[in-house]
């Protein structure tokens, strides 16, 4: 058998187990989506090369434990033939997670899965000073916990009210959780600054008087392991995907250039200063 290169193993998502010569094989999953065929492939590999078990990770990943060192090439080939790639660990861009988003969920404001795929294609596996996690959640219900991630993306609506269509029915007043809408017998009043872009007025409005443009709110520097800190929003919501990617490029670039080896994004931002980081993001936002 060839000499074991643990680093190469780790690149390929082979997590060393307590049990000698056994590895838990991390698979590539984007946005928590797998096809039934991919699941069959994974099931087959777990039975053939593992101990018949599959572990679902905390970040929508799948790992097959008890893979033997000698089977590494065979299991990878078999998985690949069934459309399943191996994941990554170590100081890289990790699995991009996502909720089901507006394709499936009635609450969703943005299409999370296509965005997760785009982000994954752009960044997945990129080597950085430390791990870097992206998460995409479709609305303010935040099922995907955007702020846990180094870069979290949360869907929302930029809302607009059309007086001519409004019946003053009162539904939006109740649907709005930010108490931004007041209504009387003859008028509706929106407190712009209070709107949190949740889009619940648009979703609930029975007469299409409220309309919304899908937008993205980004949070930076979230971490939820050894240290727990919520990602922060430093620029306003944007409806422009190009702006979103300018921001993510700038954030990943900031991390790559400024962080010390082994330093998490959050720690790097804090050491450099939130003001410095925010200014960099503002520049990216403004283009």
Min. distance of Cβ 172 from other proteins in angstroms?
9
CB of 98 to other proteins, least distance (A): 22
Nearer to other proteins, 106 or 261 (CB): 106
At closest approach, how far in Å is the CB of 107 from other proteins?
9
Q: Angle 72-81/36-49 helices, nearest 10 degrees?
A: 160
CA-CA-CA-CA dihedral for 71, 33, 94, 153, to nearest 10: 180
C-alpha dihedral sign at 59, 62, 66, 67: negative
Q: Which residues contact 259 (CB under 8 A, 6 or more apart)?
A: 128, 129, 130, 265, 267, 268
Nearest to other proteins of 205, 218 (CB atom): 205
Residue 203 Cβ, how far from other proteins at the closest point, in Å? Answer: 5
Alpha-carbon span 215 to 243, nearest angstrom: 11
Compute the distance between CA of residue 197 and CA of residue 195 in angstroms, rounded to an integer. 6
Q: Which is nearer to other proteins, 200 or 246 (CB)?
A: 200
Q: Which is nearer to other proteins, 38 or 100 (CB)?
A: 100
Shortest Cβ 205–other proteins spacing (Å): 8
Nearest in space to 144 (alpha carbons), one of 104, 182, 100, 178: 100
Q: How far apart are CB 181 and other proteins at their closest, in Å?
A: 12
By CB under 8 A, name the binding residues for other proteins. Answer: 106, 167, 169-171, 173-175, 177, 200, 203-206
Q: What are the CB-based long-range contacts (under 8 Å, 24+) for 239-244?
A: 239/158, 239/213, 239/214, 239/215, 241/115, 241/216, 243/284, 243/285, 243/287, 244/153, 244/216, 244/218
Nearest to 207 by CA among 169, 262, 178: 169
The residue among 206 and 253 lying less far from other proteins, judged by its C-beta, is 206
Whole-Å CA distances, 31 to 17, 97, 119, 216: 26, 4, 10, 17
Q: Which is nearer to other proteins, 131 or 203 (CB)?
A: 203
Cβ 127 to other proteins, closest distance in Å? 45
State the nearest-atom distance from the C-beta of 73 to other proteins, in Å: 49
Q: Which is nearer to other proteins, 46 or 202 (CB)?
A: 202
Indicate the residue among 96 and 171 with the shorter CB distance to other proteins. Answer: 171
């Amino acid at each position: 058998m060839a000499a074991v290169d643990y680093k190469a193993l780790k690149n390929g998502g082979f997590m060393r187990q307590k049990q000698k010569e056994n590895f838990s094989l991390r698979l590539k999953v984007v946005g928590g989506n797998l096809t039934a065929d991919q699941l069959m492939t994974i099931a087959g590999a777990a039975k053939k090369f593992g101990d018949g078990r599959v572990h679902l990770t905390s970040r929508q990943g799948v790992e097959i434990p008890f893979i033997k060192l000698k089977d590494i090439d065979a299991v990878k080939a078999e998985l690949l033939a069934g459309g399943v790639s191996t994941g990554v660990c170590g100081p890289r861009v990790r699995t991009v997670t996502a909720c089901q988003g507006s394709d499936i969920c009635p609450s969703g404001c943005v299409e999370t899965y296509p965005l997760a795929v785009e982000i994954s294609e752009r960044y997945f596996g990129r080597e950085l000073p430390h791990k870097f996690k992206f998460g995409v959640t479709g609305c303010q219900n935040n099922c995907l916990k955007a702020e846990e991630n180094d870069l979290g993306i949360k869907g929302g609506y930029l809302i607009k009210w059309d007086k001519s269509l409004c019946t003053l029915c009162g539904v939006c007043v109740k649907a709005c959780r930010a108490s931004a809408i007041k209504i009387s017998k003859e008028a509706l009043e929106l407190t712009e600054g209070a709107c949190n872009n949740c889009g619940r007025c648009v979703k609930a409005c029975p007469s299409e008087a409220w309309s919304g443009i899908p937008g993205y709110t980004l949070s930076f520097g979230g971490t939820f392991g050894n240290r727990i800190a919520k990602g922060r929003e430093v620029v306003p919501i944007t409806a422009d995907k190009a702006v979103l990617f300018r921001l993510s490029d700038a954030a990943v670039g900031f991390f790559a250039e400024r962080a010390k080896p082994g330093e998490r994004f959050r720690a790097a931002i804090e050491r450099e200063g939130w003001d410095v980081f925010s200014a960099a993001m503002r520049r990216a936002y403004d283009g």
